[in-house]
Structure formats: C-alpha cells, structure tokens
Amino acid sequence: MDLLSSLKISASGLAANRKRMGAISSNIANAQTTRTAEGGPYRKKEVVFGAEPVRESFGDILEGELDAQAKEVHATEVISTNKAPILKYEPHHPDANEQGYVAYPNINVMEEMANMISASRSYEANINAMNTTKSMALKALEIGR
C-alpha cells in the first residue's frame, strides 16, 4: 500500500467520524425536544457506515492482494430510529396529551456521551495515522538527500 492510499483511508475515517459526532451532538442537544417540524418528539439519529475498496484506476485494480484488503469507510446514511418515546406525566406541559403525558425522545444522554468519546477517539486515531504517514514520507525524502 502506498502512502497516498494510507492518507485516503485515514481521511475517509475522519469524514465518517465527523458526521457521526454531528449526529451524536444533535441527539444530545435534542434529548428534551418534545415537538419537531415533522410532529412528535425528536427521533434519535444514527450514522450507518459502509466500506469500499481503495481503488481509483485500472492500475490500482491490478495491484497485489494487500491493496485488495484496504478499504475506505463512508457514512452511507443518517437514519432516524423508531424507538418508542418515553412518556412522562406532566399535565401542565404545553405538549401534554389528553391524559397529561408528554412524549420525550428515547435518548440516553450518558450513552450518547460514551458514543461521542468513542467517535472522538476514532477521529484521533485517524489523525495519528495521518501524522505517522506524513512523518514516514518526510523520512523517505530525507533518505534521498
């Protein structure tokens, strides 16, 4: 695998985890949102990841088996979950139903924070991989001096 493929894989990981952190931060910010434009409480968003081989040209396809195993990650879509809302008895709330219950999003803020830490660590790992690749390229250039 060449250095540019390594950088491309790390860049795809950065982009995917950035999108994941955006969805998670939206979930945390809307954990108490009882009314949305679509109607009803906010629905938790999750990012779906997919993998694709790192290949751009016919020459890349002809390379060895090592490159056949290298894959880029992509955030293929952001979906809204269909978890049932949490009903709380608050008869004086403006969004309460006839029985006095308010539908809140089914979002566990602690779980979302753990997911945010995981996404942040993945982002950091991709940055470290890019920095290592960059330092390898600079060392290779120094050898030629």
Three-state SS annotation for 83-94: CCCEEEECCCCC
> In the predicted model, what is the mean pLDDT of residues 71-79?
86
Full-model pTM: 0.81
Contacting residues for 84 by C-beta, under 8 A, at least 6 apart: 106
Residue numbers of the domain that contains 97? 3-143
- pLDDT (average), residues 7-31: 94
Domain count, the chain: 1
Find, among 101, 106, 109, 102, the residue nearest to 43 by Cα.
Answer: 106
**What pLDDT does residue 107 have?**
95
Task: Give me the chain's average pLDDT, please.
Answer: 87
Please write the tens of the pLDDT for every residue from 20-67: 999 999 999 999 999 999 888 999 999 999 887 766 555 555 555 445
Give the model's pLDDT for residue 67.
53
Among 85-89, 131-135, 141-145, whose mean pLDDT is lowest?
Answer: 141-145
